[in-house]
Chain A
Amino acid sequence: MSNPSVAFILNAHLPFVRHPEYPRFLEEDWLFESISESYLPMLRMFNRLVHDKIQFKMTISLSPTLCCMLTDPVLKERFLEYLERHIELGEKEVLRCTKEQPEFLEMARFYLDQARENLNDFQDRYRGNILEGFKALENSGHLELATTAATHAYLPLYKDYPTAINAQIELGVQSFLTTFGHLPKGFWLPECGYYPGLEESLKYHGISWFQTASQSMLLSPDKVEYGTYRPVQCPNGVAAFPRDFQTTSLVWSNASGYPTDRNYREFYRDIGYDLPMEYIKPYIHEPSLRVFTGYKYWAITGQTNQKVPYRRDLAQKRVADHAKNFLYNVHKKTKTLEGALDKNPVFTLGYDAELFGHWWFEGIDWLEQVFRQNAEHEQQASFVSPSTFLAKERDTLQTVRPAFSSWGQGGYSAVWLDGSNAWTYRHIHKAIERMEELAVRFNDQISLKQRFLNQAAREVLLSMASDWPFILFNKSSTEYAQKRIGDHLKNFNVVYGNMCKNAVNTEWLVKAEKRDILFSDIDYNIFNPER
């Protein structure tokens, strides 16, 4: 047996949050934090590897809602303002720490430098469009870029609505084509949500592969030969890459995953909450809403609030240890599997991209170390993307029917269908049914009615985002999530009600189009089941 293959697949996604009607909007920070803590540092890491001629290959799915926000002039302008505030706070922090808390000075300087680098990269290197950075790395052969559902809908709960499933996939593919200039081969299933038969719609839209949850193989109705250690092909030929739970858990495990190391940075301790209001007020939200600022100085330490100051040198040492441990485990597992498999194992690891850098502060350094240490390794693992793997080994895939599954708690749909969010499906399903009805009754409209119906289609799709039921389940930002679902459904009803009277509410239409700028070339006829 030769060397193992490792397929890292990251899902970069955020729900569509854009509120130009407010001077600053709290939830827009989700995007700004992701850009400054994950996407830009990750691009810098990739470029360092390219510069040093270190071989690597990764796959990144960029969701259509994220791509839309990353190219929106309003949000780009606001991100610049965010960075400027960040730099100003950093400058103040360096002065404050010098005088009052020298133990934090190194990190204050680090954050300030990172914010300045972000500003430089964003403005000068990428001219305000960081997707160019991902595109360049795809062109150089280091990344495979993939798409996902239009608004990241959790698809198994829409199984009875093929037009909605098709719309989510078709717009995901179209959006990718518009953004990157070619069709995607891969499709990230939101929340790894799969149901038998979903692959038919994916194949129809030219998709070659998708990823699935680990248990999709063990629970298959077929006898799977290689468990999660090889991709399979569905009966229609589309390949499924199951996550390898054991290797994924080296990072993902709550109990012992690398990010829980006591030397790593504590995510939850932030000066936005810890420093006096009069000092921090200009950098949080009005009126005096404490939020994360990104300036975090403490180490995880343990399950205690008696934290010790973060030391970057200690953390970097652990990063190197953990990268070494990861590669050791991959090789050890390969060795263990030698007698069981007659083919090389493929370890598929799928994570949210924002885990790296934003949540797990050292995560990007860890990825870099994995690639660098592997390059020096005697027996190297081969980093692959699903498409490069399939180009060589498609003929070797076993034909298997994956099982209904997701990566959520319990392994099925419980996260997106529980007491907190089940009420939403009555309304969303009805909106889909009514959208289908509108598309049949008023097919191929032009001008104002066409725009009105296109906006209705946008509202239906936005209500389907998996983020809202997820937030309701986790009880994090529930008011906002409830409001968003309700708004999209109520907005849809404006169109439905007016079209039933053969009227158009132009005031509503103009404002709605201005607010929800995504899918500019959407065609509502996509919801026509007779199409």
Chain B
Amino acid sequence: MILINIDSLSTTELQYIAQQERLEDWQTLDREELIDALEEAFGEQDDEVYSAQKGKIHRNRFCNSLTDYRGDKQNLSDLPGVEPLPETYLDTSIHLLLRDPQWAYAYWSISPDSRQMVFGEDGQAPSSLFLRVQETRIESGEVLSFDISVDREDTQWNINLPNMGSSYLVDLCWRDRKGNEMSLAQSKRVETYPAYWQKHSGELADNYASFLSNFASLVTKEGEIVDNPVIRDLAQQLCKGVL
């Protein structure tokens, strides 16, 4: 998809999009006001991603639409016998997806039976739910863990992974009024591997041939480093080494 380069749109286009987005007073707004209003409507300003995206006008796959002008879900008809998707499923399970080496996304569901076990038949038992994140260091085999409290209505969580070079799994746990802890479900493991050059950044800094073939290739002519948090950290390490 091509991201919208809003500065390049004509005022007519901006007015058209504003109309489709049902912005009030779209006919009376000037160009700058239209851009501001549209940016706000798309909710991009609050998005941490926004600043990184704003300049990206020609990326990835293409799409011919400037905005979501269809605006009517019913326009695409359902087939016969189709029912709405459930919000959750009637089993007890937890899944862990690796987003990047520093973050994972967990989602879970709790069956009615499990829910009754945890919160009692009347749902009033003062039990609590929490996620127990278990980290196993790949090299040493050392096992660490930490807990994250979640509400009974929660069904998903973004989990910060403290170290690269570890595998992680998550237990969906509950604690009863006496403090007893039990696991309801356990996820599969996700692994993060340490990069060789992270551990040997000195070698990279000292050996020009290695630096040239491995690191310099990830920097544009203008000095822009490939978009990656681990490589940014490595760049900082290299800067410190050089300075």
A-to-B contact residues, CB < 8 Å? 13-14, 19, 21, 26-27, 29-30, 33-34, 156-157, 159-160, 196, 214-215, 217-229, 244-246, 249-250, 252-257, 259-260, 266-269, 273-274, 289-292, 300, 303-305, 329, 336-337, 339-341, 352, 354-355, 358-360, 401, 403-404, 409-414, 417-418, 422-423, 425-427, 429-430, 467, 470-471, 474-480, 482-484, 486-487, 489-491, 493-494, 497-498, 505, 507-508, 511-512, 515
Contacts A260-B58, A273-B10: A404 and B101 contacting too (C-beta < 8 A)?
Answer: yes
Rounded to whole Å, the gap between the CB of A380 and the closest CB of chain B is 22
Rounded to whole Å, the gap between the CB of A292 and the closest CB of chain B is 5
Q: Are A491 and B79 in contact (CB under 8 A)?
A: yes
The answer to the question of B217 belonging to the interface, with a C-beta cut-off of 8 Å to chain A, is yes
Q: Are A476 and B65 in contact (CB under 8 A)?
A: yes
User: How far apart sit A340 and B209, CA to CA, in the bound complex (Å)?
Assistant: 4
Q: Which residue of B lies closest to A411 (CB)?
A: B228
Q: Are B80 and A157 in contact (CB under 8 A)?
A: no
User: How far apart sit A418 and B158, CA to CA, in the bound complex (Å)?
Assistant: 10
Residues of B within 8 A of A218 (CB): 195, 197, 214-215, 218, 231, 234
Top 9 closest pairs, chain A to chain B, by CB: A412-B100, A411-B228, A340-B209, A227-B213, A227-B214, A219-B195, A249-B220, A273-B13, A340-B212
Q: Are B88 and A426 in contact (CB under 8 A)?
A: yes
Partner of B226, one of A291, A411, A477, A484: A411
The size bracket of the interface on B is 35 or more
The answer to the question of B123 belonging to the interface, with a C-beta cut-off of 8 Å to chain A, is no
Contacts A34-B62, A290-B16, A303-B8: A219 and B231 contacting too (C-beta < 8 A)?
Answer: yes
The answer to the question of B23 belonging to the interface, with a C-beta cut-off of 8 Å to chain A, is no
Partner of B81, one of A256, A257, A358, A505: A505
Q: Are B64 and A253 in contact (CB under 8 A)?
A: no
Residues of B within 8 A of A259 (CB): 58
Most buried by A among B97, B109, B221, B224: B97
Residues of B within 8 A of A19 (CB): 76
Residues of A within 8 A of B178 (CB): none
Q: Are B213 and A337 in contact (CB under 8 A)?
A: yes
Rounded to whole Å, the gap between the CB of A388 and the closest CB of chain B is 23
Q: Which residue of A lies closest to B91 (CB)?
A: A430
Q: Are A220 and B195 in contact (CB under 8 A)?
A: yes
Which residues of B (12-43) have their CB < 8 Å from a CB of A?
12-13, 16, 31, 42-43
Q: Which of B48-56, B114-122, B125-133, B145-153 contacts A (4 or more CB under 8 A)?
A: B48-56
User: How far apart sit A337 and B208, CA to CA, in the bound complex (Å)?
Assistant: 10
B-to-A contact residues, CB < 8 Å? 1-5, 7-13, 16, 31, 42-44, 49, 52-53, 55-73, 76-85, 88-89, 95, 97-101, 105, 107, 109, 155-156, 188, 191-198, 200, 208-210, 212-222, 224, 226-231, 234
Q: Are A214 and B218 in contact (CB under 8 A)?
A: yes
Partner of B82, one of A305, A423, A474, A508: A508
User: How far apart sit A157 and B53, CA to CA, in the bound complex (Å)?
Assistant: 23
Residues of A within 8 A of B78 (CB): 487, 490
Q: Are A26 and B70 in contact (CB under 8 A)?
A: yes
Q: Which residue of B lies closest to A417 (CB)?
A: B99
Residues of A within 8 A of B191 (CB): 196
Residues of B within 8 A of A269 (CB): 8-10, 13
User: How far apart sit A221 and B199, CA to CA, in the bound complex (Å)?
Assistant: 10
List 11 contacting pairs A-B, 8 Å CB cutoff, sorted by A. Answer: A33-B62, A256-B221, A269-B10, A273-B12, A411-B227, A411-B229, A413-B99, A477-B68, A491-B79, A491-B82, A512-B79
Q: Are B95 and A254 in contact (CB under 8 A)?
A: no
10 more CB-based (< 8 A) A-B contacts, given A246-B221, A257-B58: A196-B191, A218-B195, A246-B220, A249-B220, A256-B222, A411-B230, A411-B231, A471-B63, A476-B68, A507-B80
Q: Are A254 and B70 in contact (CB under 8 A)?
A: no
Q: Are A486 and B222 in contact (CB under 8 A)?
A: no
Residues of A within 8 A of B42 (CB): 475
User: How far apart sit A484 and B83, CA to CA, in the bound complex (Å)?
Assistant: 14
Q: Are B98 and A404 in contact (CB under 8 A)?
A: yes
Q: Are A222 and B100 in contact (CB under 8 A)?
A: no
User: How far apart sit A359 and B1, CA to CA, in the bound complex (Å)?
Assistant: 10
Residues of A within 8 A of B220 (CB): 245-246, 249, 253, 256
Residues of A within 8 A of B228 (CB): 215, 219, 410-412
Contacts A229-B213, A291-B65, A493-B83: A474 and B3 contacting too (C-beta < 8 A)?
Answer: yes
User: How far apart sit A253 and B227, CA to CA, in the bound complex (Å)?
Assistant: 11
Q: Which residue of A lies closest to B109 (CB)?
A: A426
Q: Are A410 and B82 in contact (CB under 8 A)?
A: no
Residues of A within 8 A of B215 (CB): 218, 227
Residues of A within 8 A of B217 (CB): 214, 227-229, 244-246
Residues of A within 8 A of B98 (CB): 156, 159, 404, 412-413
User: How far apart sit A359 and B57, CA to CA, in the bound complex (Å)?
Assistant: 10
Partner of A291, one of B57, B64, B214, B227: B64
Residues of A within 8 A of B55 (CB): 254-255
Q: Which residue of B lies closest to A345 (CB)?
A: B213
Q: Are A427 and B85 in contact (CB under 8 A)?
A: yes
Rounded to whole Å, the gap between the CB of B39 and the closest CB of chain A is 11
Rounded to whole Å, the gap between the CB of B47 and the closest CB of chain A is 9
User: How far apart sit A273 and B42, CA to CA, in the bound complex (Å)?
Assistant: 20
Rounded to whole Å, the gap between the CB of A515 and the closest CB of chain B is 7
User: How far apart sit A273 and B155, CA to CA, in the bound complex (Å)?
Assistant: 43
Most buried by A among B61, B85, B194, B220: B61
Residues of A within 8 A of B73 (CB): 479, 482-483
Q: Are B213 and A489 in contact (CB under 8 A)?
A: no
Contacts A26-B70, A196-B193: A359 and B2 contacting too (C-beta < 8 A)?
Answer: yes
Q: Are A479 and B10 in contact (CB under 8 A)?
A: no
Partner of A403, one of B3, B7, B195, B214: B195
Residues of A within 8 A of B226 (CB): 214-215, 245, 411
Q: Are A490 and B224 in contact (CB under 8 A)?
A: no
Residues of A within 8 A of B198 (CB): 219
Residues of A within 8 A of B11 (CB): 305
Q: Are B53 and A409 in contact (CB under 8 A)?
A: yes
Q: Which residue of B lies closest to A290 (CB)?
A: B16
User: How far apart sit A38 and B199, CA to CA, in the bound complex (Å)?
Assistant: 45
Q: Are A412 and B58 in contact (CB under 8 A)?
A: no
Q: Are B95 and A255 in contact (CB under 8 A)?
A: no
Q: Which residue of B lies closest to A30 (CB)?
A: B64
Residues of A within 8 A of B105 (CB): 417, 422, 425
Residues of B within 8 A of A483 (CB): 73, 76
Contacts A268-B8, A505-B81: A305 and B65 contacting too (C-beta < 8 A)?
Answer: no
Residues of A within 8 A of B85 (CB): 427, 486, 489-490, 493
Residues of A within 8 A of B195 (CB): 218-221, 403
